[in-house]
Structure 1
């Protein structure tokens, strides 16, 4: 689990660096398509981090909730999946 957390943190820190770079690109009046490509790249890293976190949630929190007969976590997961897919 620690490796997964470190992977998520790494993706988020890399995205943060990219966002700082994007802001500088805008301030430097760089080519719009180049800026857009960097935004897409940062979004990809954020999605990757989110997927890692959600997989970890499935394998820990939700798994444990079944042992305790607590099923509200399934509804939480359903709601977040709807948000992720844009419903």
Structure 2
């Protein structure tokens, strides 16, 4: 497993812990703004995990496709992903 995937897993485990904590905060009727701030922190960690997966895709999948003449398909995938991220 490469470094990007290891980092993504690390971030996802952190996010999972944060989400479990958020659920407990809601169940314990904690202050709404504290809950919201924790949700924002979780979103940030998920973005980091996604960034690592995208890096892995570019440095491995796209790079390998250049050698096999199917780069157009990979570029279209990246364009679709960028469109989703921009929404």
2:16 maps to which residue?
16
2:60 maps to which residue?
60
Deviation at 1:3, TM superposition (A): 2.0
Q: Deviations over 1:30-78 (max 9, x none)?
A: 0011000000000000000000000110011111111111020110111
Secondary structure of the corresponding residue to residue 6 of structure 2: helix
Off by >6 Å, runs of 4+ in structure 1: none
Stretches of structure 2 lacking an aligned partner (at least 5 in a row): none
In the alignment, the residues of structure 1 paired with residue 4 and residue 56 of structure 2 have an alpha-carbon distance, to the nearest angstrom, of 7
In the alignment, the residues of structure 1 paired with residue 60 and residue 14 of structure 2 have an alpha-carbon distance, to the nearest angstrom, of 26
2:86 maps to which residue?
85
In the alignment, the residues of structure 2 paired with residue 84 and residue 56 of structure 1 have an alpha-carbon distance, to the nearest angstrom, of 17
Q: How many residues are matched?
A: 86
Stretches of structure 1 lacking an aligned partner (at least 5 in a row): none
